Amino acid sequence: MKTTSKAIILPEKQALTVDVEDYFHVSAFENSIDKNDWQSLELRVEKNTYRLLELFEKKQAKCTFFTLGWVAERCPNLIKAIVDQGHELASHGYAHQRTTGMSQAQFTADVSKSKQILEDASGEAVIGYRAPSFSINDSNTWVYETLTELGFEYSSSTYPIEHDLYGVPHWPRFKYQREEGIIEIPIPTIRKDEVNTGIGGGGYFRLYPYWLSKRRIDEYLAAEQQPYSFYFHPWEIDPDQPRVAGAPLKSKLRHYINLSRMEGKIMRLLDDYQWDTMKSVYLKGDIK
């Protein structure tokens, strides 16, 4: 008897995301750069993000920009350009503080301030949030209560992998609704021998050759038949950014590796897949 295999139906579009922060905001340099000095440092995020907008327009890709309130305060025209070009604006908090280092009151103040700044600058409701350094874990699930109270409809703040700075490997790998009412959309992973490997972008994408990243994305799409989301930062296409002399060697290696190759890799990624916002890819039928 002839048997036919079930056809694999891949998601039509994947979700493209950018965490809009500058090189001096990153957690890897938080012990090397004082927050009080941010104002005096060269602001490079605006130019780099405009460059990304150019690339996305050229490749007809839409993106969700998880943006720091601190950046939005200083670059209101950039915020307007993001929404005017049909992209989604979402919150990355105000000052890139990890949620694990804040009390609930401090977190509420930080995120509500960010949301207000972004909505005032864009004229649109902000419904998405991403915690700096994916810093939601078992110790602070109250974050979801606060996000729900503030009117957020989804979060993309967890990475179910083992990592020295973040990670919740035992948490769900795919989009799910929390008991608090908000939707959580984890960063994608592939799973083998009960171990999750990160394939969502950032440093992993800069470190590995493009062919390997693409193969892993394709494996994920075929095996899981779930949408894929990719994240990176404007500073990752900026190889000429200032070097932080006092940072630990490990932090420098993570931050600076293959910066000169990143834009070319992003261009290939934009060619190989169709890209849309988190809201469009994951929240169809779920938006309130």
Q: 């929404």: which residue's tokens?
A: 83
pLDDT value for 169: 77
Rounded-to-integer distance, Cα 211 and Cα 214, Å: 5
The upper half-sphere exposure of residue 229, i.e. CA atoms within 13 Å in the direction of its Cβ, equals: 28
Tell me what the mean pLDDT of segment 269-277 comes to: 98
Residue 230 has pLDDT above 60, yes or no: yes
Burial of 29: CB neighbours in 10 Å, binned 0-12, 13-18, 19+: middle
42-56, 115-129, 273-287 — which is least confidently predicted? 273-287
CB count in 10 Å sphere of residue 155? 24
pLDDT value for 2: 45
Rounded-to-integer distance, Cα 188 and Cα 169, Å: 12
Rounded-to-integer distance, Cα 204 and Cα 22, Å: 19
| Three-state secondary-structure class, residue 107 | helix
Interval 123-157: pLDDT, tens: 999 999 999 999 999 899 999 999 999 999 999 99
Residue 6 has pLDDT above 70, yes or no: no
Q: CATH top-level class for 18-33+43-282?
A: alpha beta
Residue 164 has pLDDT above 60, yes or no: no
Interval 30-64: pLDDT, tens: 889 999 999 999 999 999 999 999 999 999 999 99
Task: Give residue 165's pLDDT band: very low, low, confident or very high (50, 70, 90).
Answer: low
Interval 178-229: pLDDT, tens: 999 999 999 999 988 888 888 999 888 999 999 999 999 999 999 998 999 9
Q: Where do the structural domains in the chain lie, given as residue ranges?
A: 18-33+43-282
Question: What residues contact 90, with CB distance under 8 A and at least 6 apart?
Answer: 64, 65, 66, 67, 118, 126, 127, 128, 129, 130, 278
